[in-house]
């Protein structure tokens, strides 16, 4: 028997992504977000509350980075999701993380995050359900430590985590359990 929960945002897993922008004074702002992801080959969609400092930075700078945090940064990444730059302007400085300027967009690259998408803001859509930011991926950066022997990003080496909206938890991911477009191919023969 199934229990009825009504309307809830209950999907699992939800991503734990880090949005990097610059404030008006050039200082780094990073926030954790979970409502978004890839929406086309070279596009990401972020669903944000318009009141976030990050949103003001996106409007002003027209660029951002979107990074995948590793388990080694879980505590500081969670902090960057809890703390509001509107109330705590030095929140990034408190983390001990290090940022360098992207060579391609007007946004910071956080050195401790293993994979970073460098993006331009293509569109910001104010909708009744919230603000959707569409960003174009102009480049992907990855630490050599997360690459396989052929130079491709190895998801198992990311040692990342996902968000659980239902119980507000984080869960480690990394073990490969199947091959896409192959594990179910045997059913095609029926």
pLDDT recorded at residue 127? 87
Q: Does residue 2 sit within a domain?
A: no
Put residue 60 in one of left, alpha, beta given phi > 0 → left and psi -120 to 50 → alpha.
alpha
C-alpha angle 126-132-135 in degrees, rounded to nearest 5: 130
Range of the domain at 86: 17-189
| E strand residue ranges, 128-190 | 130-142, 161-164, 169-172
Q: What pLDDT is attached to residue 176? A: 86
Distance (Å, whole) CA 34 – CA 46: 8
Residue 133 lies in a domain: yes
Number of domains in the chain: 1
Kindly list the distances between the CA atom of residue 121 and the CA atoms of 39, 106, 136, in Å, as whole numbers in the listed order: 14, 11, 6
Q: Residue 141 forms beta bridges with which residues?
A: 116
Give the mean pLDDT per block of 10 residues along the chain (190 residues): 93 94 97 95 96 97 98 97 95 97 98 98 92 97 97 95 94 90 87
Question: Model's pTM, two decimal places?
Answer: 0.94
Residue 72 within any structural domain of the chain: yes
The CA distance from 109 to 92, in Å, is 13
**CATH number assigned to the domain comprising residue 65:** 2.30.110.10
Residue 126 in domain: yes
Tell me, what's the pLDDT at 156? 93
Residues 6+ apart with CB under 8 A from 58: 21, 64, 121, 124, 133
Question: What is the model's pLDDT at position 145?
Answer: 97
Residue 3 domain-assigned? no
Q: What is the pLDDT of residue 59?
A: 97
Cα separation of 150 and 180, whole Å? 19
Token duo for residue 38 = 């890839």
């Amino acid at each position: 028997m199934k229990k009825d929960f009504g309307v809830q945002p209950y999907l699992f897993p939800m991503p734990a992504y880090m949005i990097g922008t610059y404030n008006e004074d050039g200082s780094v702002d990073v926030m954790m977000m979970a409502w978004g992801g890839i929406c086309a080959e070279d596009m990401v969609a972020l669903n944000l509350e318009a009141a976030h400092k990050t949103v003001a930075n996106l409007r002003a700078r027209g660029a951002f980075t979107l990074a995948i945090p590793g388990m080694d940064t879980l505590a500081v990444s969670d902090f960057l999701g809890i703390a509001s730059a509107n109330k705590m302007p030095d929140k990034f400085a408190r983390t001990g993380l290090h940022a360098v300027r992207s060579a391609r967009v007007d946004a910071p690259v956080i050195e401790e995050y293993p994979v970073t998408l460098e993006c331009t803001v293509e569109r910001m859509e104010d909708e009744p359900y919230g603000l959707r930011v569409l960003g174009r991926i102009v480049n992907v950066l990855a630490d050599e430590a997360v690459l396989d022997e052929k130079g491709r990003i190895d998801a198992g080496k990311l040692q990342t985590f996902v968000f659980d909206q239902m119980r507000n938890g984080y869960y480690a991911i990394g073990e490969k359990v199947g091959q896409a477009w192959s594990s179910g191919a045997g059913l095609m023969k029926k």
